[in-house]
Amino acid sequence: MEERQEPELSLSCQNFNGHFSQATHALLTSCTRKEVVGCFSHFEPETQEYLYKVYALVGAQIRENVIAEFNSICSEHQVFEVLDHVSDRALITATEAGDHIHPEKVVKEVAVRRKLQEMDEVKRKLGLAQEENDSLEAQLKVLRLEMDKARDQGSDNALYKKIQNANIELFKLLD
């Protein structure tokens, strides 16, 4: 199986990952060795040590799984890209204004900007579709005029059929 190459993370994203990893580690290792062994006080000391090692291994595996899932969710929702943008924007805003940075405001600004970009892309695609539609309608109008002209002139049946077939093709395209 081919391993997917992850792009290099910026320093702010690496810090973000590191802090999450530390928080997860702190959460999973909040119990001291003495507290864990105390939970198994009715076992022999050797068994208590073994159970602590199992506890530590399970905790490490849970931590790995949580961090992997965290990274997956961050990738899926483009958190690292947004974080880079927010960091850049916050730095620019702080430099320009000399004010305290409000992360909520910056995140909302980024979200609004992304939605506006999406709307612009949809409008662009709609404009292209409209141009294509207009072009097809113009071609259809020309073909109808040619067909009417051919009928009026009593021209041969071959030209009439050719125009009629082209007309049918255009109707199919419009549907």
Tell me: the pLDDT tens digits for 30-54?
888 888 888 888 999 999 899 899 9
**Pair of tokens at residue 140:** 């259809």
Other beta carbons less than 10 A from residue 41's beta carbon: 7
pLDDT at 6: 55
Compute the average pLDDT of residues 150-166. 68
Write out pLDDT tens, residues 67-78: 999 888 888 887
Distance CA 11, CA 110 (A): 20
Q: Are 71 and 64 in contact (CB under 8 A)?
A: no
- Region 133-140 average pLDDT: 85
pLDDT bucket at 2, cuts 50 / 70 / 90: very low
The percent of residues in the chain predicted with pLDDT above 70, rounded, is 74
More confident residue, 62 or 90: 62
| pLDDT given at position 46 | 92
pLDDT at 65: 92
CB atoms within 10 A of CB 114: 14
Q: Which of 78, 1, 64 is nearest to 28 (CA)?
A: 64
